[in-house]
Amino acid sequence: MTRSRRQAHLSDGQTPVVAPDDAHPELYDARPERFASSLGLTFANIALLRTALTHRSVLHDWAAVLPASDLPQSNERLEFLGDAYLGVIVAEYLYNLDVDAPEGVLTSRRVALVRAERLVSWARELNLGDYLFLGQGERVTESVRDRMLAGAFEAVIAAITLDQGLNAARVFLNRFLDRDVQVLPHEEASANPKGRLQELIQNRYRIGPVYRTIKIEGPDHSRTFTAEVLVLGQSLGTGQGGSKRDAEQAAAQMALEGITSGETYLLAAPATGEPQNTSRRSRRDAREE
């Protein structure tokens, strides 16, 4: 080839990989191969994994030295697909794990296992941040809620599935699921009840729970609030506290305990003709509330 920036030749249907000249070695290195090796995987199409590791921030830097026709994609499309695969694999795993668990319990556990914070912790176990292609000045922070790692982890799941099939992605995820499903009860006892209930209800109904203060007692300097949480008019729990927020947290905790134990039966989701899973954006917005 005479072009200074060469495009690798792959078979039909594979994603092209840009191989720049020696002047820009940072644009092409063995990061995907090294990451695959650390996972114990061999990719037939390593370009899929390269795309999974390409954060959108680096595209601006690459655009300065590559023609538009050679500019690779970021991992956002794979992230979208990996989010769907992750939901299917985790749901199937929980369904087979406990054949007697009611729908509400399964939903609560699935939400807990796919929350962004957990994906970030899994990504950190794999040192995923060390293999990402990032723009200048961009870095993986130490925040447990780092969305960059969560999205990249989902993109890696998609890359594995597309390259080797859904069963390979199951095997990849089982190393985490087998361990973390055991600690869910302990995590649920200490996590933010309102946040977890918000995510659970939004996942099922595409709306959030509604809180209302039903009683205020005591003098101004020492009030006791009683709050109730409702979904589609159904009361899921009540709670008391020294502030509206504490009362709502207590009500959410009661609701979660009822759902997890099976004592509270969630209403059927509205028949909208749409999948009940919310989008990744909606789920993550819920996590922040």
Q: Hey, which residues are catalytic here?
A: 83, 154
Cα–Cα dist 28/78, whole Å: 20
Helix (H, G, I), strand (E, B) or coil at 99: coil
Strands (DSSP E) along the chain, which ranges?
6-7, 18-19, 210-217, 224-231, 234-241
**Would you tell me the crossing angle of helices 116-125 and 280-288 to the nearest 10 degrees?**
100
| Residue pair 224/217 in contact by the 8 Å Cβ criterion | yes
Helix (H, G, I), strand (E, B) or coil at 245: helix
Burial, 87: exposed, middle or buried (Cβ in 10 Å; 0-12, 13-18, 19+)?
A: buried
**Taken in order 147, 153, 157, 160, is the CA torsion positive or negative?**
positive
Cα–Cα dist 83/85, whole Å: 6
In the block, residue with structure tokens 């792959």: 10
Contacts of 210 (CB under 8 A, 6+ apart): 229, 230, 231
Q: Six-digit token pair at 212?
A: 């209302």
